[in-house]
Structure 1
């Protein structure tokens, strides 16, 4: 067998394996969100996650990939493996959004937005960052470095979520008389399972983004990237645990896990560049940002049941900036410019699209439907029919 053929086969297998790890993030998001919402809304959350994966993936297959990358070509590994790897990313932008608007969002309008996100909005962000770059040479040409999507994936989903919360509003009774009603998670074991599935999926997310593993140098780069990814998650979890204990003398597992996810988001921009110690600091800052951002968004009455704004938007920005701070080869100003362009574009376009869809089919379920639960009104199937529904 020729060496070039062997490398082609190995890199194709590597892409497919990384893609499979990323797909584990689909049940990861589903379980995390199902555990954080009330029992009367679990079937709806699970259905939404499945619909996002199917609709976004097909939209990317039929329209989005061509727009993002300008064609179907690859010489180093199978184009079908490359496509599957890129397809695994696309639904994550809407998964980030769906968790943040859960317990009051209707499935059909969200599916319509998912179609537009997978076919147009996300591919355009990819085009000017990872892809064909139709705007090269113009002011909108992004030279930002973003290995696996602190901005391209996580901030894009976060900006879309911010627009969605502003359009849809908060859950019934969440903010009353100037007070915040605490709505506890329904199933902590599912939260833990979902977060750990996401954590495992991140190894394919970041490691796979190195692109190739068929040489000693690249194999080391992949291993280092995965190690740094894991380190940031560990640091994020630890600092969240410590901060919660200092503040409340309690260990909140949901906040600990969100701290880990915040660290993972933050390291995603340049996990391949850092030495083995820098990810500790990046993860510590990421986990701390989650702890402080969650109550901040509540004070602003931005109702986010799963903390997605704090995890993905805030740490997507931090991680992209950190790459420009700690990596000499990366321009800090290019990182700032990329954050601003992607943020302004995604927020404005998402807001306009959401408003337009909302005129046709309301995103927000009415108060009576929310009281009964989205499972009954949207799915006709309750996840826990033997349990008394919480109001």
Structure 2
């Protein structure tokens, strides 16, 4: 029976990881739909390249940093990287509790998700090579350090900080890295007028963006459900079922709330904000998808969706250009999700102060280290394409291949 339970739990863990991996397709479709057609091929290239880099860097360095260290501290055991203990096999020999291959696979798709958040925020004006170099450092070193603080048994874990599936550790961290990038990168040409008012730059393919949102919604069942880790007994099977229901309810709440919000504020149903409302609801419930009732989960998702929409407006007022709303969805909603955990964890000692401390520490580390990396890249090689290259589009500049060549020819023929 123990072998059967082990096999069932491992199979569930792997399938959950595969669902999270499928979220990479969701991010690719969402971002490709929300950027202009002249930048579609480049954003798709970024998404598949970042996934491959994240998987490789986490294999070589990240997993060891996150899990092969003494518990309860600020710093992981970087000494393991100086020897031979930087592979999954080596970590498996030294720390069997964490180094099952299924665990590595599940964790590696999480780090890829964090990096995907950055991709959309810096879209349409960042150099591809600079982005991919940053990807190496975020996935191999920056993310694993803050991941260790909670999931690797570090000091946040010892303090009682709660973040079930990563509203802060994955989503807010990705948003913090993205925020550092766009501050140094600057806005797209034409995004803000002389008075600082934001101009709409419509995405090229809203059906594709909607498909991406549904793919992410589906993948999130693996993201949150898989984080329960086990399913082979009655208690865990019931917990997974509840997590699925609450995850779905929160996304639905985000959609409904943002639909109503846009109808009231803009007198129109803004699809791009509604799509982000679904994602914000999913991000908000990720910090604790088990303990709320389904109705409370719906309310959490609704609040997360509206908070993300308000954050989009605030960032535009600050002239911080985020083409897909990634910082608002994953950052603002992620912060909210972590802070409401004490309201639903009545049976556990979850402190609001501890939750706030965790947010401050994770944000500060990721933002500061990312800012330093982006700044260094800006000085050494530049992180932004030229005005002419931005006008032409990054498909031609970085990839030499257009996503919609027939459309481009027809537009040129018509003089548009």
User: TM-score surpassing 0.5?
Assistant: yes
The counterpart of 2:176, out of the listed 159, 167, 170, is: 159
Aligned-pair distance for 1:326? 2.6
Partner of 2:320: 302
CA distance in 2, matches of 1:129, 1:90: 14
Aligned-pair distance for 1:232? 0.3
CA distance in 2, matches of 1:280, 1:362: 44
The counterpart of 1:216, out of the listed 219, 234, 253, is: 234
Structure 1-normalised TM-score?
0.95
The counterpart of 2:114, out of the listed 84, 93, 101, is: 93
Partner of 1:232: 250
Partner of 1:103: 124
CA distance in 2, matches of 1:209, 1:140: 16
CA contact (8 A) 2:287 2:341 kept: yes
CA distance in 2, matches of 1:92, 1:163: 18
Deviation readout 1:126-156 (Å, 9 max, x if unpaired) = 10011142xx4xx996531001100000000
Partner of 1:366: 386
Structure 2-normalised TM-score?
0.90
Q: Does 1:112 align with 2:112?
A: no
290-299 vs 113-122, which deviates more?
Answer: 290-299
CA contact (8 A) 1:143 1:338 kept: no
Deviation readout 1:50-89 (Å, 9 max, x if unpaired) = 111000110000100010011334459x811111000110
Matched residue SS, 1:152: helix
CA contact (8 A) 2:151 2:157 kept: no
Partner of 1:248: 266
Matched residue SS, 2:404: coil
CA contact (8 A) 1:16 1:85 kept: yes
Question: Per the alignment, do residues 150 and 177 of structure 1 end up closer, same or farther by CA in structure 2, a change over 3 Å counting?
Answer: same
- Give the gaps of 5 or more residues in structure 1: none
Question: Per the alignment, do residues 74 and 208 of structure 1 end up closer, same or farther by CA in structure 2, a change over 3 Å counting?
Answer: farther
CA distance in 1, matches of 2:10, 2:120: 32
Partner of 1:143: 160
CA distance in 1, matches of 2:243, 2:265: 33
Q: Does 1:53 align with 2:55?
A: no
CA contact (8 A) 2:150 2:157 kept: no
Partner of 1:268: 286
- Give the gaps of 5 or more residues in structure 2: 69-90
Partner of 1:348: 368
Deviation readout 1:359-382 (Å, 9 max, x if unpaired) = 222111111000000000010010
Matched residue SS, 1:387: helix
The counterpart of 1:81, out of the listed 95, 98, 102, is: 102
Question: Per the alignment, do residues 152 and 358 of structure 1 end up closer, same or farther by CA in structure 2, a change over 3 Å counting?
Answer: same
276-285 vs 262-271, which deviates more?
Answer: 276-285
Question: Per the alignment, do residues 367 and 335 of structure 1 end up closer, same or farther by CA in structure 2, a change over 3 Å counting?
Answer: same
Aligned-pair distance for 1:325? 2.7
Q: Does 1:36 align with 2:34?
A: yes
Partner of 2:188: 171
CA distance in 2, matches of 1:53, 1:273: 32
